[in-house]
Structure 1
């Protein structure tokens, strides 16, 4: 925090950029600020950091060892300046790792392997470079990629070396975890809670991910300390720092060699599907399309103590949040009520905050860590990762702004980064697959296990086969993009914007959007696609997205035939036999939420009428006055659990309330269902749904129950704000609630039947 009237820091020395021209593209770049200089040579993909007359520090952008043991080095194909100015410069380098020959001129020159995309950021007055290193394991030869969906490689690192000053050899002292790292030694974070320096017989729990390097050079008038730090080092295990055998530097092992005591420590491990599925072979095994990134820093500081202090500070993403009234004034998103705005709104906010705290607790206790896992949660169907089906980071971004909570914001960035890196097909031999997002699968992407073989894992799937969770599948009903656009708008991350556009562009080709006669699975497919198209248009103003939104809205209207939703054929387990067609609870809610987003952009009257018709369908078929809550199926003879809050209840009440703002004549009929179901939610602590411990909710519902929190509170405030805030009305409103006996006991812990043994 900056105190009022605190003295301002000195004005930093502006960045000065020099380009060295080449025969074609720029051959080299140099950026200076004060005594610090950063230089990048395009031909060798080597960067140099110098501070005053200290020995030069150099690093190659990336090195990779293939599955068959070939050592490849980054070779730059494209070099861009994304941003230049006196305060910040951002360089982007992309290419492949190749052998000594560089780009393959013609067969039989071997193709490169491992596409890299590296952002290098320099700041005025700072003596470090920020590196965003992304690696996509795939061959430069598309034919090889077509032969192999699952890709393997042994290791990848950033080698850092110190050049001798003049004729005097520089000696180097490396320190990590308060221990000296001797030439040839490696600190290996091989689990989230265990690191080892084998030849030093040293062990520990969670390394902070900082290495200090102090050169001792006779020619330097004063010796500074270099440092390297990897953000979320142990959380993204395996990780390592290795001292170069020659004693002249170290390697930052982003993907360290997977050996411990000369063996693979990850073979045949318990709970393999949680932590070891991509490590079990002794090589990194990932599905084509993954592009894993790491954020790290390399720099200079005056002393070991100051180097450590700076490195620790860089490990935490700095967050500055604008005031809520400013955000609302921009009108870039739905208006947000101030947090804890009084009365029953406080209960609502406390429920969300408690659910979020529970998420962080479960993240720690269940150890949702690992290089491919960090930023996601495990156990959606006992054996799989969730892939943030309901876009939790989008809600965390919104509520971080509303509650002015930097940790929510940081978690949203982590989760969006995971979604972009792991759960989306970023590159592929088949261009029609680029932009697909995997639904919740074993190992995030599927592809690690053969259905019905190798394993006794069985994932509940409504009586149907569970093959899709092992093989991986993408459907529009499980695709979300809002958090990518939010991340770009709030942090400037260029790859977040690219991911959001990539996914949305792929949606434009889906039959759901292109074929008006397409019979989608449930109403949530068009609903979430409308939400995605609206978010993409707001972020980019690309009229292709708005045109697709209008076409899809037309398709929804065509199938709904005035009923609000398509009355599709129901499966046998979705009805008690009294009806054959209709739509289920949260599917109705999410289609209508998508149409609400479409209406906000278009103000089409036919869309408005569809929203109100869907609300009427909800009131007539999915609300049960005897429960003062909703049910899942429109069937009257099906045995059902009442749903006041959670995925179904909160969202159905939201669309009914929103419909009243579009057509006030609905309010007399809808007032009782809205207030009664809300009271049942508050009084019975049903915020995250039924059959759950409200103090430890299923993470799925932390977002699905609260996804529309901001517009939901806004419409409830519009309709009933004074009543909900007035302390004198509290007991009167809560008396509307159904008795606790209507709902199953709030005691089930979702982990008991969802987490592996």
Structure 2
């Protein structure tokens, strides 16, 4: 991604670093005209044509055929100067097998729709496979996208499998099972290592199933070998020719999940058969956790998807093959200098962790503990739930309101723990897979995000099913979140995050801006924020031009008072008609924060002036000095709460930055102190409160620190 002058704004680097468990190493990047690139003597060699892709990665040779696909690929391992086949050469297991509710089978076994090289570097290469699941009579149900990542001279590959419900003829598709089949050479596995237990497939098929978040069973034939709460996320199977280990990130957290190992291969239960499991019915527990598992079958709404991240590793013995499992399951992270993103201007100014941020940092750690405790208390696990938070208006899944991935990743970048990164990562994948509609009977809705609702996507239950429930599907740009997706994609190179976020924003920047006009501050503010975030991430002027359309309408409608007054609706004004003219403070805050990002990118003086005028309007109309907080709206009968300050302060603090107005400085400091001293919500949804503050407070804090220094 480049700046306007063509210089580098974002660049993705591949590197290989050997680390001990929990180890660390310092890295330095050298760049400039005098620095010579030093590629490996022989990197990954790639050959691609209409028949498929061949990779020579050194220790592994990988073949992916378009006419005869095998999962995860036809892989050969180098030993003593020769290659031996390990997966994909013959065998009875189909690459992908889906069985619907009526027992009809759809498979990927043979030809696939497309095989393409997505990335081709000397150290890392990514091949994408697209395939429809087909029945014997030619019908199709669901699609699979597989991404195989090979690494130079490493004895493992990463495999990401995404299933998508592309069947738009019905609101739901009901599935009994979905499995991936890896046929392992030489066709006779002699032992299986799962965690601390070992079994011999020759004595009967070894199977493990995790049907719930707190129960798994390991069996051989009809005999139970072991039961427990959380299953190991890996297994290693071996035979005369060596061993293969398979691992899946977030295995039990994404239940239902399963493994099955027979003499000739390994079956991975993305959706294992759970028809014999009685999932709780009725009440909050069903609606929250088991809405898609009723009757022991999987009920997927049209456009739903889910990605599972796996590792295939090879070695002479099971213990050797399993060595990469831990770093795959808990991957090491690169932490750049915390101020790099601000110093280079790729992100807005935010406050890094330092002695000056101690009080806020303590609040963040409290928020992290509350968020994680809430996940356990609400059992926020399961294939369609993991990564999200529950309890919006008591009954809805949050669908990442206020951009949970962005908030947690931002905290990691400013010096927080790797746990912040992980929580944001889990949230990002849920957002891109479940909360985004990938297919719809109305093509204009495909690519948009759902807002907080029952079952994340609505449609599972009738209206008024639970108090506060949003039962039917609803999509809105005021409940769309892309900044976290783009930022994770930039930092990791994850193509799915990038392509889905880009598709969403192309919809907004396209027909949705035709005949655009101002409606209210929130309905303009969030789309403007999304467009500027997309422009900052991609450098595409399409998004900046779209933002300019919104800004022009916003400036046209700003009144001489500095506000965007309107006759307030019930809920914003608590008086009988005639209701007050005015606005909701949080809506003005959303808009001014978005205008701030636009002003940072363009330097448009009119926009800077508009932000300052809006800040003075907010203070005159809603500020209560004695409370150190704003009214909820312009209505004098609306409540006053310092917890709302986080939604108002980013634009207000920026107004002080560009104007240096002493009155603004005083109120920014008072409002910040009051907000920070206000405890997190003591009632659900905790995720909403945490996300709302994490996404804005680091930016506010940077101006607060400057404002304090200006008064010294």
TM-score range, shorter chain: 0.7 to 0.9
- Work out whether 1:366 is the aligned partner of 2:372: no
Contact 2:156 2:314 in 1 (8 A): yes
Tell me what 1:206 maps to: 230
Query: Out of 526, 551, 554, which is 1:553 matched to?
Result: 551
Contact 2:191 2:198 in 1 (8 A): no
1:65: how far off? 1.7
Residues 1:349 and 1:722: Cα distance change in structure 2 (over 3 Å): farther
Contact 2:448 2:504 in 1 (8 A): yes
Tell me what 1:377 maps to: 389
1:15: how far off? 4.4
Residues 1:555 and 1:359: Cα distance change in structure 2 (over 3 Å): same
Corresponding pairs, count: 659
Residues 1:611 and 1:553: Cα distance change in structure 2 (over 3 Å): same
Contact 1:508 1:514 in 2 (8 A): no
Tell me what 1:62 maps to: 96
CA displacement, residues 116-157 of structure 1 (integer Å, 9 cap, x when unaligned): 111100001211111111000233xxxxx2x31222222111
Tell me what 1:463 maps to: none
1:224: how far off? 2.3
Residues 1:181 and 1:531: Cα distance change in structure 2 (over 3 Å): farther
Higher mean C-alpha deviation, range 703-712 or range 379-388: 703-712
Secondary structure of the residue aligned to 2:414 is helix
Q: How does 1:702-717 map to 2 (within 5 A)?
A: 702-717=690-705
Q: Matches of 1:43 and 1:476 in 2, distance apart? A: 42
1:186: how far off? 2.1
Tell me what 2:33 maps to: none
Residues 1:494 and 1:563: Cα distance change in structure 2 (over 3 Å): farther
Secondary structure of the residue aligned to 1:349 is helix
1:89: how far off? 0.9
Contact 2:374 2:686 in 1 (8 A): no
Higher mean C-alpha deviation, range 389-398 or range 356-365: 356-365
Q: Matches of 2:593 and 2:492 in 1, distance apart? A: 27
CA displacement, residues 495-547 of structure 1 (integer Å, 9 cap, x when unaligned): 11111111112223465x333445x3x42121111110001111122212111
Q: Matches of 1:584 and 1:401 in 2, distance apart? A: 32
1:20: how far off? 6.4
Residues 1:629 and 1:18: Cα distance change in structure 2 (over 3 Å): closer
Secondary structure of the residue aligned to 2:296 is coil
Contact 1:189 1:207 in 2 (8 A): yes
TM-score (norm 2): 0.87
Secondary structure of the residue aligned to 1:93 is strand
1:200: how far off? 2.1
Residues 1:56 and 1:626: Cα distance change in structure 2 (over 3 Å): closer
1:579: how far off? 4.8
Query: Out of 652, 666, 670, which is 1:672 matched to?
Result: 666
1:181: how far off? 6.4
Q: Matches of 1:543 and 1:563 in 2, distance apart? A: 32
Secondary structure of the residue aligned to 2:143 is strand
Tell me what 2:461 maps to: 449
Query: Out of 272, 277, 289, which is 2:303 matched to?
Result: 289
Contact 2:194 2:236 in 1 (8 A): yes
Tell me what 2:406 maps to: 394
Tell me what 1:611 maps to: 611
Contact 2:178 2:271 in 1 (8 A): yes
Q: Matches of 1:583 and 1:354 in 2, distance apart? A: 32
Q: How does 1:397-436 map to 2 (within 5 A)?
A: 397-436=409-448
- Work out whether 1:153 is the aligned partner of 2:172: no
Residues 1:569 and 1:175: Cα distance change in structure 2 (over 3 Å): same
Tell me what 1:330 maps to: 344
Tell me what 1:32 maps to: 56
Tell me what 1:729 maps to: none
Contact 2:259 2:269 in 1 (8 A): yes
1:265: how far off? 4.2
Residues 1:592 and 1:440: Cα distance change in structure 2 (over 3 Å): same
TM-score (norm 1): 0.82
Tell me what 2:3 maps to: none
CA displacement, residues 13-70 of structure 1 (integer Å, 9 cap, x when unaligned): 844435364xxx2x13222334432221211221222223655322854322233322
Tell me what 2:571 maps to: 573
Tell me what 2:162 maps to: 134
Tell me what 1:458 maps to: 467
Query: Out of 699, 706, 709, which is 1:718 matched to?
Result: 706
Q: How does 1:52-451 map to 2 (within 5 A)?
A: 52=79, 56-58=86-88, 61-74=95-108, 75-99=111-135, 110-139=138-167, 145=168, 147-164=169-186, 170-177=188-195, 178-180=197-199, 182=201, 183-197=204-218, 199-201=222-224, 202-216=226-240, 223-244=241-262, 247-260=263-276, 264-265=278-279, 271-342=285-356, 345-451=357-463
Q: How does 1:615-626 map to 2 (within 5 A)?
A: 615-626=615-626
Tell me what 1:483 maps to: 484
Q: Matches of 2:273 and 2:685 in 1, distance apart? A: 38
Tell me what 2:7 maps to: none
Q: Matches of 2:376 and 2:638 in 1, distance apart? A: 38
Residues 1:668 and 1:401: Cα distance change in structure 2 (over 3 Å): closer
Higher mean C-alpha deviation, range 486-495 or range 175-184: 175-184
CA displacement, residues 390-439 of structure 1 (integer Å, 9 cap, x when unaligned): 00211211211111522211221111111000001122332201121111
Residues 1:66 and 1:617: Cα distance change in structure 2 (over 3 Å): same
1:561: how far off? 2.8
Unaligned stretches of 5+ in structure 1?
6-10, 101-108, 140-144, 217-222, 460-465, 727-757
1:564: how far off? 3.5
Q: Matches of 2:116 and 2:174 in 1, distance apart? A: 29
1:77: how far off? 1.2
Residues 1:573 and 1:137: Cα distance change in structure 2 (over 3 Å): closer
Q: Matches of 1:576 and 1:231 in 2, distance apart? A: 50
Q: Alpha carbon RMSD of aligned pairs, Å?
A: 2.5
Q: Matches of 1:509 and 1:280 in 2, distance apart? A: 39
Tell me what 1:50 maps to: 76
Tell me what 1:741 maps to: none
1:715: how far off? 1.6
Contact 1:569 1:581 in 2 (8 A): yes
Q: Matches of 1:238 and 1:516 in 2, distance apart? A: 45
Contact 1:13 1:124 in 2 (8 A): no
